[in-house]
Amino acid sequence: MKTSIYNVDGKVKGEMDVPQIFYSEMREDIMKKAFRAVSLSYRKPYGSSPNAGLRRVGHTSGPGMGISRMPRVSGSSRAVLLGSTKGGRSPHSPRAEKNLKLKINKKEKVVAWRTALTMAANADIVKKRGHIFSEELTFPVIVDDEINNITKTRDARNFLQSLGVWEDVERAKEKTKIRAGRGTMRNRTYRTPKSILIVSDKPSGLKAFKSLPGVDISFSKNISISKLAPGGVGGRLILFTESSIKNMEVE
């Protein structure tokens, strides 16, 4: 099976055979497992001090005093140290030494990676995920390496318009919302839907696309499953440069 190669004007400049990697078996269960492992590995250790709630000196008066025998502040009825008392230690607080990493087999990573690529090469799955694109596009979408020479956001917008995928960027912009809760105080004010992913062997030359809402850039040799399938859901709208296809095959 062949797919079209599009130039910077959005026109077909030629064809190429679709690599075999885009015909892999789709294992969505393994892909979701790999995404969960990656997302959980992003967490940072946190926890209370081991001495929290244990810095007070407590005394017990012993039996026969008409009160429960638990450590109390000298000269007061205030109980301390115990997890069942107000002002005592926290019995089940987060521990900084807890291992937050979730491991996954190397072969499962490869299967998840291939599944995400195969789903991205299916127009019906990409549309089902919510992406908007021209019906004339052939999948997987392969573009000329000349897009690495685009240095202005205006030119990047013109290229995406001519290719027929600009409406998907507008969708991400229109659906950008203010995050509810504490995230607004922690530099996570806005939540923007994912739009196009551009895969290249020279991602440093695609800075003009980074300012577009929802658009991500990735290197062809180490694409994260979190970019290929955000949220563990496959079928992202991906643009591959012609030279990056050569680096896609996993050994």
Confidence at residue 222, expressed as pLDDT on a 0 to 100 scale: 81
pTM of this prediction exceeds 0.85: no
For residues 251 and 49, the model is more confident at 49
Question: Would you say residue 249 has pLDDT above 80?
Answer: no
* Mean pLDDT of the 57-66 span: 84
Confidence at residue 227, expressed as pLDDT on a 0 to 100 scale: 93
Question: Would you say residue 117 has pLDDT above 90?
Answer: yes
Q: How far apart are CA 125 and CA 233, in angstroms?
A: 10
Confidence at residue 88, expressed as pLDDT on a 0 to 100 scale: 86
Q: What do you get for the CA distance between the two ends of the chain, in Å?
A: 22
Question: Would you say residue 102 has pLDDT above 90?
Answer: no
CA angle 39, 44, 46 (to 5 degrees): 135
Average pLDDT, the chain: 89
Residue 124: is it exposed, middle or buried by C-beta count within 10 angstroms (0-12/13-18/19+)? Answer: exposed
Domains annotated on the chain, with CATH: 2-28+105-247 (3.40.1370.10), 45-99 (no CATH)
Cis peptide, bond prior to residue 193, ω within 30 of zero: no
* Mean pLDDT of the 44-69 span: 86
- What would the two tokens of residue 67 be? 């009160």
Question: Would you say residue 216 has pLDDT above 80?
Answer: yes
Question: Would you say residue 251 has pLDDT above 50?
Answer: no
Query: What's the pLDDT tens digit per position in 1-14?
Result: 888 999 988 888 88
Is-contact 141 244, C-beta < 8 A?
no
Residue 149: pLDDT band by 50, 70, 90 thresholds? confident
